[in-house]
Amino acid sequence: MSVEIPENMEDVAMQLAQHKVRGEQVDETTVIQNAVRDILQAFFDEALEGHYDDVNWDENDLVVTDVMGNEAGRVHPQSDSFVNDFKTDADSLIERLEEETARIVGGR
């Protein structure tokens, strides 16, 4: 995983501080949402040995689209949102995202 992608709430706090030093207005929810999306994207890039699929938000879900723009998979939060999943147990969420990546990639 990239050093720039927060993997826990301590990393989120550090990234928020970095944004503040740069004069950028970013809230905790945005940092966490970006982190969750970026973590899943990194797993797909690694599994496919390159950037072929894109991960984007569709309301509370993360949707994976293939190079042709077709939906390859969808990941739902366990609670009401990925932000709450991250805050509750980031390690479990990251593990689940890795498992979902294997499921979606393996299902092709």
Global confidence as pTM: 0.93
Mean pLDDT of the 21-46 span: 97
Confidence at residue 2, expressed as pLDDT on a 0 to 100 scale:
58
Mean pLDDT of the 26-43 span: 98
What is 3-60 written as a DSSP string? Answer: TTS--SHHHHHHHHHHHHHTT----HHHHHHHHHHHHHHHHHHHHTTSS-SEEEEETT
pLDDT exceeds cutoff 70 at 7: yes
Confidence at residue 3, expressed as pLDDT on a 0 to 100 scale:
61
pLDDT exceeds cutoff 90 at 46: yes
Mean pLDDT of the 31-37 span: 98
Mean pLDDT of the 22-41 span: 97
Q: Please, which pLDDT band fits residue 1 given cuts at 50, 70 and 90?
A: low
Portion of the chain with pLDDT greater than 90, in percent? 94
Alpha-carbon separation of residue 17 from 9, 12, 26 (angstroms): 12, 9, 10
